[in-house]
Structure 1
């Protein structure tokens, strides 16, 4: 298989894992709905930075940690799922009102960015993808690992920006229609929170079994 064929196959797999609904996607949509475009883009940006860290980890795992990686899979699933359950529960128990969100945009944007970063870093789906796929597509015969990592990382950021950024903007448009009905926003946030808890609980069970 040539490098070009290898890269296109990786692109298809990466696109598939990003467009499948999961923790990152729900986090972006929930923030876009409740906080508007600024919050949605902040969530997307944090997740994109997390994607860059995933690429770095994937490179290190292939080059230096091949014997340790299998031992990390279970604990990362458990830790990541536990954190996401806490985030989802917090969102589910909150009473988000749009007017209150607008009061401190800068502070809230920074907090959402940080949460997006942590959400992506501790997303079990992303770690499973890296542990299963990166060793198959990052090969010595395709050149230096750092060069392959740059291409794979750039592709990850591009697809995350297109998919999650688009969802964030679409969700913010829906939010504009809810300004006059803040109680609807509250229930949307709570529903998204419980959905996040449910998905994270399933991943926690899977991680516990693998550990």
Structure 2
């Protein structure tokens, strides 16, 4: 298989894992619906930075830590799922209204960015993808690992920006139509929170079984 064919197959798999609904997608949508465009972009940016860290980890794992892969999968699932349960529960119990968002916009944006970063970093789906896929596509015959990592990382950021960014903007437009109905916004945020909890619980069970 040529490097171009290898990279094309990796891109298809990457696009699939990003577009499949999961914790990152729910997190972006929930924040865009409740906080508007700024919150959606902050969530997306945090997740993109997390994607860059995933690429770095994948490179290190392939180059020097491949023997630790089996031991890391279970704990990462459990830790990531537990954190997402907490985020979802917090969102489900919140009562976010438009006035509160506007009054603390800068603080809220920074907090959402940080949560997006942490959400991506401990997202079980992302870690499983890295641990399962990177060793198959990052090979010595394709050149230095750092150069392969730059290309794969750039593809990750591009697809995350396209999928999650587009979703955030679309959700923000829907949120703009709800600004005159704060109670509806509150219930949308709570519903998204409980959905996040449900997904995280399933991942927690899977992680506990594999640990």
Residue matched to 2:117: 117
In the TM superposition, residue 69 of structure 1 has moved relative to its aligned partner by 1.6
Corresponding residue number in structure 2 for 1:23: 23
Measure the CA separation in 1 of the matches of 2:29 and 2:81: 19
Residue of structure 1 equivalent to 2:89? 89
Residues 1:66 and 2:69 aligned together: no
- In structure 2, the partner of 1:3 is 3
Q: Which runs of 5+ in 1 are unaligned?
A: none
- CA offsets 1:96-118 (integer angstroms, 9 cap, x no match): 11111111111110000000000
Cα drift, residue 140 of structure 1: 0.5
Aligned equivalents of 2:85, 2:37: Cα separation in 1: 25
Alignment root-mean-square deviation, CA: 0.4
Q: Does residue 104 in structure 1 map to residue 85 in structure 2?
A: no
Q: How far off its partner does 1:61 sit?
A: 0.3
Aligned partners of 2:192 and 2:132: how far apart in 1? Answer: 29
Aligned to 2:136: 136
Deviation per CA, 1:169-189, whole angstroms, max 9, x where unpaired?
A: 001100110011000001100
- The Cα offsets for residues 134-156 of structure 1, whole Å up to 9 and x where unpaired, read as 00000000000000000000000
Distance between the aligned counterparts of 2:200 and 2:180, measured in 1? Answer: 32
1:5 alignment partner, SS class: helix
**What is the match of residue 149 of structure 2?**
149
The 1-side partners of 2:14 and 2:68 are apart by: 24
- 1:208 aligned partner: 208
Cα deviation per residue 1:69-105 (whole Å; 9 max; x = unaligned)? 2101100100000000000000001111111111111
Query: What runs of 5+ residues in structure 2 fail to find an aligned partner?
Result: none
Show the 5 A alignment for 1:172-187.
Answer: 172-187=172-187
TM (norm. structure 1) is 0.99
Paired with 1:163 and 1:103, the residues of 2 have a C-alpha distance of 29
Query: Equivalent residue of 1:96, what SS?
Result: coil
Q: d(CA) in 2 for partners of 1:147 and 1:36? A: 37
The farther-off stretch of 94-103 and 84-93 is 94-103
SS in 1 for 2:66: coil
Q: Distance in 2 between matches of 1:66 and 1:129?
A: 14
Count residues with an aligned counterpart. Answer: 211
TM-score by structure 2 length?
0.99
